[in-house]
Amino acid sequence: MGTPQGILALALPLALALAAMFCALGLSKAVAAAMEAIARQPEAGQQIQAAMIIGCGFIEALTIYALVVVLLFGFGIISLH
């Protein structure tokens, strides 16, 4: 397990799990803040919701980028030499 491939086989799923976990925490914090803002100021609900959806899209994109990098390393398209 000391080979670079063995280390990569262990590190890639852990990195993807960490990326997904922290993106989920970011999404939950963003949605909670948006819901509190809408509750305080209902007349601005549409604008707050639009900003929240854009922000959530950016957060989700980070998870997708992490998945793409893991797949590129996993299939050997990018190698560590």
* CATH number of the domain that residue 19 is part of: 1.20.20.10
Flag whether 8 is in a domain: yes
Flag whether 46 is in a domain: yes
Flag whether 52 is in a domain: yes
Tell me phi and psi for residue 26, to 5 degrees. -65, -40
Residue 73 clears pLDDT 70, i.e. is over it:
yes
Residue 20 clears pLDDT 90, i.e. is over it:
yes
Residues with Cβ within 8 Å of residue 3, at least 6 apart in sequence:
none
Task: Calculate mean pLDDT across residues 14-41.
Answer: 95
Residue 3 pLDDT: 81
Three-state secondary-structure class, residue 56: helix
How is residue 63 written in tokens? Answer: 């998870």
Tell me phi and psi for residue 78, to 5 degrees. -110, 130
Flag whether 80 is in a domain: no
Which residue range is the domain that position 70 belongs to?
Answer: 4-74
Flag whether 79 is in a domain: no
Domain count, the chain: 1
Measured distance CA(43)–CA(1) in Å, rounded: 58
Residue 34 pLDDT: 96
User: What average pLDDT does the chain have?
Assistant: 90
Flag whether 81 is in a domain: no
